[in-house]
A and B are shown apart, each in its own frame.
Chain A
Amino acid sequence: MRASSLLMMVAVAAVAHAQADLDLAQAPASPAYVLLGVEPASVERPGDPTDLAFSLLTATEGLSVLPRHYALSVAPYWLLGAGERVTFAEWRREADLWTTLAQTLDISVATASPEDEDLTSLGAGLRFSLRRGTVPQSAALADLEAAQRAAAADAGAQLAALEGADSLLVALEQILLAPGLAPAAREPIERAIAARREALVASLVPLPHDRLQELASRVDLRRRGWKLDLAGGVTGDFPGRKVETGRFGRAGAWFTGGYDGPKWSSLGVVRWLTTADESSLDAGARVVFVGSSRFAASAEGLGRWRPGADTWRGCLIVDYTVAPNRTLSFTFGRDFSGRPTGNLLAAVQLLLGFGAARGT
């Protein structure tokens, strides 16, 4: 009993290492949070420039203080309204270099303050793609499309029937369409029709929001094909929360790319991290084979170059889904040298998921 408990503790520790390093295979969505070492409970995602200004002014009390805990993520292309003419069909496909860069650019900013220190750290980062792959058609997407079509057709038919039976609207339209109506007399009638129509639209049977939400959550928006992503960021520490005391914290850059297919994917990563005291460079690759909806296997190799402490890790991971949101994961291999628990990676872990996740 005691031995098995110990084994489990070692396994959990080893898995913790494995999970942390596996994240290297993808450029982080928000480098500022990664470099600060925070996972914000809530992230401000303003929808337009007014929202952005409001969020910044509120968080900084009118640009007078550095907020203690704040996280912001902004996609400038979409924030500035450039997406009004971008269709889903265009977005899901590959695009030219500049379009891809602009549409995928995401800027993250965050602050964090340790509870027991009078210090605030500020981080800023950005991430973008140079190649983004494509979102494939799927059965889940077809289901969503069918439900949307039915809802749109139903709403249109309902409104046509309601308007045809509404005596006030019919009377107003007869006046509007009467020959010889002076242009000046049209405007108030058009306003009255618009107002009456808004009332009729409000009385339509509501959209099946829950059904559409459920179907949308099943759509896998993970892009397939060739991908190339870049991310980077920098942090600064501000003792006493004063600008003049600011000093460099750390900086990092990620360069990831490869091919992501339905059965096989092969992704490489180069990561550079530096602090005021030391720098390190990681480079490696991961190959993943998805045998079925239940079975996946992957192999990963990663080298780490640090002054006087070069090391590497390599491991095999097999995942088997035993039930929805229940995955058994086996990990075996060699971890980086210098771990407090040794460098043998050998773990069995039951991964529990909750709810449906949407890929990005």
Chain B
Amino acid sequence: MAVTQSIFYPIGQNDAAVVRLRIVVGQAQKGATSVHRGGTLLVSTNDDVVTLDLGTGAEVRGEKFYCATVVTDVNPQTNLTSVSWELAGGERVFAKACTETLDHDGDSVLYVAVITCL
């Protein structure tokens, strides 16, 4: 089971501004996130809120970032899981949240977001 998001993020004319990525694992569930730039691992963490400066607009234009988040249902009050992605520093602020309801306590789900900076 996987939730997939393709995000096409326009940089516009903001070559000098730093593009910032924020990933939030919600619903009080336990998660881990990795971010790759191409084949290079930038971050691997269990933080529920991941904030990462991807680079300036000029540096990231044309680049792809692979964000993989594994969420395990540990909250006894809900089987709902959610991950949200936010981007700032480009042409506009981007925010998107996805949810997935798991069948049982302890089940896990993979959320994948691939960000292409245009």
Contact = CB atoms under 8 A, between A and B. Distances in A.
Nearest to A29: B76
Interface in A52-92: 75, 77-79, 81, 83-92
Contacts of B110: 151-152, 155, 204, 207
A317 interface: no
Nearest to B6: A194
B77 A212 contact: no
B80 A48 contact: yes
B26 A78 contact: no
Interface in A104-144: 104, 106, 141, 144
A158 to B, nearest CB: 9
Interface string A231-270: 0000000000000000000000000000000000000000
B77 A90 contact: no
A78 B101 contact: no
Contacts of B66: 156, 159-160
B56 interface: no
A201 B32 contact: no
Contacts of B68: 152-153, 155-156, 159
Contacts of B97: 84
Interface residues of B, number: 58
Chain A interface size, as a band, is: 35 or more
| A-side interface mostly | helix
A149 B6 contact: no
Contacts of A190: 6, 8
A78 B32 contact: no
A172 B57 CA distance: 22
A53 B16 CA distance: 51
A216 interface: yes
Contacts of A201: 2, 4, 112
B51 interface: no
A110 B118 CA distance: 55
A157 B101 contact: no
Contacts of A75: 77-78
B80 A47 contact: yes
Nearest to A216: B106
A193 interface: yes
Given A152-B44, A177-B62, A216-B106, A207 B77 contact: no
A39 to B, nearest CB: 18
B27 A84 contact: yes
Interface string B1-35: 01010101000000000000000111111111111
A198 B67 CA distance: 14
Contact of A84 (B2, B39, B82, B106): B82
Nearest to B62: A177
B34 A86 contact: no
A152 B23 CA distance: 14
A153 B108 contact: no
A87 B26 contact: yes
A103 B84 CA distance: 20
B19 to A, nearest CB: 16
A182 B41 CA distance: 33
Interface string A202-219: 101001010011001101
B28 A86 contact: yes
A25 interface: no
A306 interface: no
Given A155-B112, A207-B70, 4 more contacts: A152-B69, A152-B70, A153-B34, A156-B41
Top 8 nearest A-B pairs by Cβ distance? A87-B48, A91-B28, A148-B32, A78-B78, A216-B106, A156-B68, A194-B6, A155-B68
Interface of B: 2, 4, 6, 8, 24-36, 38-39, 41, 44-49, 62, 64, 66-70, 72-80, 82, 84, 97, 99, 101, 104-110, 112, 114, 116, 118
Interface of A: 45, 47-48, 75, 77-79, 81, 83-92, 103-104, 106, 141, 144-145, 148-149, 151-153, 155-157, 159-161, 163-164, 173, 176-177, 186, 190, 193-194, 197-198, 201-202, 204, 207, 209, 212-213, 216-217, 219, 221, 358, 360
